[in-house]
């Protein structure tokens, strides 16, 4: 965990210093794609159940405030069905997050770091009974936008989402692949 935070700080510092050298050619970007999430608490508390949520999506809208610094909003969903005798419980996690992003733009490569804050909505359906909870979430992350056709590109991103529920932090590493469009 300490290494991850140190890596994010180093990337943020390098992106901020380099951001003054090149301004982005557009002001807004929109991204949408696939998300793979892992629930660390599920992995630790239930070793017989796979902790990956293989079905997931994410969508973001970001805007540059000034050179290198911007804001981003994100919505995402992650889904999993567990096979147990007599039922197939469905687990769902939705997040609604926003926060600052530091992004270095060049002609075709744009690394970024961000920290998003907001709400997470988790629900479980077992034997036709659904339980839903809403909690505070924050999500530090970093990624790379690779533009290959003007304003059309590809995003690779890694995040470490933390959901704060009843005084306990639930940890969810996440990896995303997305198409990104600049405006």
DSSP string, 77-145: EEEEE--BTTB--EEEEEEEEEEEEEE---SSEEEEEEEEEEEEEEEEEETTEEEEEEEEEEEEEEEEE
User: What string of pLDDT tens digits covers the 183 residues of the chain?
Assistant: 444 444 444 444 444 444 333 434 568 899 999 999 998 776 666 665 668 899 999 999 999 888 889 999 999 999 988 777 767 788 899 999 999 999 987 668 889 999 999 999 998 887 778 889 999 999 999 999 998 887 899 999 999 999 998 888 889 999 999 999 988
Do residues 110 and 133 make contact, with C-beta atoms less than 8 angstroms apart? no
**What's the rounded Cα separation, in Å, for the pair 88 and 70?**
42
Which CATH number is 170's domain given? Answer: 2.40.160.20
**pTM, two decimal places:** 0.79
Number of structural domains in the chain: 1
Q: Which domain covers residue 38, as residue numbers?
A: 2-182
């Amino acid at each position: 965990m300490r290494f991850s935070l140190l890596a994010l700080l180093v990337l943020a510092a390098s992106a901020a210093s380099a951001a003054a050298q090149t301004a982005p050619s557009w002001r807004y970007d929109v991204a949408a794609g696939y998300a793979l999430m892992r629930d660390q608490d599920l992995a630790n508390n239930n070793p017989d159940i796979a902790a990956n949520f293989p079905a997931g999506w994410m969508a973001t809208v970001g805007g540059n405030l000034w050179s290198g610094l911007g804001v981003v909003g994100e919505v995402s969903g992650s889904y999993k069905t567990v096979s147990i005798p007599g039922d197939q419980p469905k687990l769902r996690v939705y997040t609604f997050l926003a926060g600052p992003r530091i992004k270095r733009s060049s002609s075709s490569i744009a690394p970024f770091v961000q920290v998003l804050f907001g709400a997470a909505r988790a629900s479980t359906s077992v034997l036709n009974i659904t339980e839903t909870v809403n909690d505070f979430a924050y999500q530090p992350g970093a990624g790379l936008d690779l533009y290959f056709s003007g304003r059309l590109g590809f995003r690779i991103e890694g995040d470490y989402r933390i959901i704060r529920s009843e005084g306990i932090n639930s940890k969810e590493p996440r990896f995303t692949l997305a198409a990104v469009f600049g405006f």
